[in-house]
């Protein structure tokens, strides 16, 4: 009897020891990927979260802070885009270049069907094991699109299917429920436009220049004119 108890105890402590080492190994591996592998693979940016490799391969100068979760590996993220701590990007397939997405932002949160007896996925999703086949078609879920040079401030929530136009600004804490036109500044719940960043004429010139597609070298050489958009456009277009 005593022998059996001792054996059981030994077995339990062995199991705890093994799981301790497995956790340690997993953390070391994560640390290795984040601190050693990513920065070496990716010298023109800074990556502090585990994100799909496809994003890293196809873009340059990305800054991705800690605890960022990007669920869609087919997403395109343009060059020099920044994503802050704890941001969650779910149903979104395009984020342009030169975007600044702040911390604690939530993008493309999926809806649950509202006409079932319950909104709980156990009644419609096969991943929750009650249903053998999904009862709700998630394949046609609309995704979010964020164009180039968009600023999304801290704690913003962007509902599924919304399009945010180039150069738009979303104020802190906003809930974006509809499309936001290019260069608009929108704030509040639900987000409403308070003004535009530039005049119609300037917007026309900026759009015509397509500065975000220009070579980094040219943009860097002319960075001293960035505070004067008209002059900047003139310089990079000449
Ligand atoms: C949206 C924002 C850029 C607007 O700046 P701005 O154009 O200088 O705006 P103003 O301060 O002139 O405010 C204009 C009006 O909008 C309101 N407003 C500004 N920001 C707001 C916000 N986030 N939510 C609700 N209302 C807001 C102001 O109260 C003001 O209202 P009033 O005219 O009734 O007084 C700024 O307020 C903001 O939200 N910044 C976020 C900063 C942030 O999170 N940065 C992270 C970067 S990584």
**Does residue 145 lie in a domain region?**
yes
Asked whether residue 180 falls in the same domain as residue 208, the answer is: no
**Does residue 127 lie in a domain region?**
yes
Q: Calculate the average pLDDT of the chain.
A: 93
**Does residue 41 lie in a domain region?**
no
- Tell me the C-alpha distance between 46 and 82, whole Å: 9
Asked whether residue 106 falls in the same domain as residue 85, the answer is: yes
CATH number, domain of 81, equals 2.160.10.10
**Domain span including residue 127:** 64-197
In the reported structure, the alpha carbon of residue 194 is separated from the centroid of ligand 1 by a whole-number distance in angstroms of 9
Q: Rounded mean pLDDT of 100-108?
A: 98
Asked whether residue 125 falls in the same domain as residue 181, the answer is: yes
Asked whether residue 215 falls in the same domain as residue 173, the answer is: no
- Which residue is associated with the tokens 């395109």? 76
Please return the burial class of 40, using the count of CB atoms within 10 Å of its CB with bins 0-12, 13-18 and 19+. Answer: exposed
Ligand 1, atom 38: closest residue by C-alpha: 171
pLDDT of residue 180: 98
**Does residue 49 lie in a domain region?**
no
The answer to whether the CB of 171 is under 6 A from ligand 1 is yes
Mutate which of 151, 187, 192, 195 for ligand 1 pocket (most atoms within 8 A of beta carbon): 187
Asked whether residue 206 falls in the same domain as residue 123, the answer is: no
Asked whether residue 114 falls in the same domain as residue 141, the answer is: yes
Mutate which of 171, 174, 175 for ligand 1 pocket (most atoms within 8 A of beta carbon): 171
Q: Are strands 88-89 and 106-109 parallel, antiparallel or unpaired?
A: parallel
In the reported structure, the alpha carbon of residue 171 is separated from the centroid of ligand 1 by a whole-number distance in angstroms of 6
pLDDT tens digits, one per residue of 73-99: 889 999 999 999 999 999 999 999 999
Asked whether residue 125 falls in the same domain as residue 206, the answer is: no
pLDDT tens digits, one per residue of 146-163: 999 999 999 999 999 999
- DSSP code of residue 156: -
Asked whether residue 233 falls in the same domain as residue 181, the answer is: no
pLDDT tens digits, one per residue of 212-227: 999 999 999 999 999 9
pLDDT of residue 1: 77
Asked whether residue 202 falls in the same domain as residue 111, the answer is: no
In the reported structure, the alpha carbon of residue 151 is separated from the centroid of ligand 1 by a whole-number distance in angstroms of 12
**Does residue 165 lie in a domain region?**
yes
* Banded model confidence at residue 103, pLDDT cuts 50, 70, 90: very high
The answer to whether the CB of 169 is under 6 A from ligand 1 is yes
210: left (phi over 0), alpha (psi -120 to 50) or beta: left
Asked whether residue 173 falls in the same domain as residue 103, the answer is: yes
**Does residue 85 lie in a domain region?**
yes
In the reported structure, the alpha carbon of residue 188 is separated from the centroid of ligand 1 by a whole-number distance in angstroms of 9
Q: Across 116-125, 139-148, 175-184, which has the greatest mean pLDDT? A: 175-184
Contacts 24+ apart (CB under 8 A), 198-206: 198/167, 198/229, 202/229, 202/230, 203/167, 205/230, 205/233, 206/167, 206/233
- Which residue is associated with the tokens 């943009």? 219
Ligand 1, atom 39: closest residue by C-alpha: 171
The answer to whether the CB of 185 is under 6 A from ligand 1 is yes
**Does residue 117 lie in a domain region?**
yes
- Angle of helix 229-237 relative to helix 200-209, nearest 10 degrees? 30
**Does residue 30 lie in a domain region?**
no
Asked whether residue 203 falls in the same domain as residue 165, the answer is: no
Q: Rounded mean pLDDT of 27-53?
A: 84
Asked whether residue 156 falls in the same domain as residue 118, the answer is: yes
Answer yes or no: pTM beyond 0.85.
Answer: yes
Ligand 1, atom 10: closest residue by C-alpha: 194
Q: Are strands 63-64 and 82-83 parallel, antiparallel or unpaired?
A: parallel
| Residue 141: count of CB within 10 angstroms of its CB | 14
pLDDT of residue 140: 67
Which range has the worst mean pLDDT, 57-61, 143-147, 180-184? 57-61
Q: How many distinct structural domains can be found in the chain?
A: 2
The answer to whether the CB of 96 is under 6 A from ligand 1 is no
């Amino acid at each position: 009897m005593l022998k059996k108890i001792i054996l059981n105890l030994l077995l339990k402590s062995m199991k705890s020891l093994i799981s301790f080492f497995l956790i340690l190994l997993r953390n070391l591996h994560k640390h290795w990927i984040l601190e050693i592998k990513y920065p070496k693979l990716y010298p023109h940016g800074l990556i502090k979260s585990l994100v799909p490799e496809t994003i890293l391969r196809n873009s340059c100068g990305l800054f991705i802070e800690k605890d960022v979760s990007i669920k869609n590996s087919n997403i395109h993220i343009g060059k020099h885009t920044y994503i802050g701590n704890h941001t969650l990007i779910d149903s979104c397939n395009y984020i342009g270049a030169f975007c600044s997405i702040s911390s604690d932002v939530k993008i493309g949160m999926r809806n649950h069907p509202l006409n079932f007896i319950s909104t709980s996925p156990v009644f419609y999703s096969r991943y929750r094991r009650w249903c053998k086949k999904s009862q709700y078609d998630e394949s046609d879920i609309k995704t979010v699109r964020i164009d180039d040079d968009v600023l999304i401030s801290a704690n913003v929530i962007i509902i599924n299917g919304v399009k945010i136009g180039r150069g738009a600004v979303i104020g802190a804490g906003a809930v974006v429920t509809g499309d936001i036109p290019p260069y608009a500044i929108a704030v509040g719940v639900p987000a409403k436009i308070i003004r535009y960043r530039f005049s119609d004429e300037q917007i026309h010139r900026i759009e015509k220049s397509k500065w975000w597609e220009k070579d980094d070298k040219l943009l860097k050489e002319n960075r001293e004119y960035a505070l004067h958009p008209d002059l900047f456009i003139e310089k990079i277009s000449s």
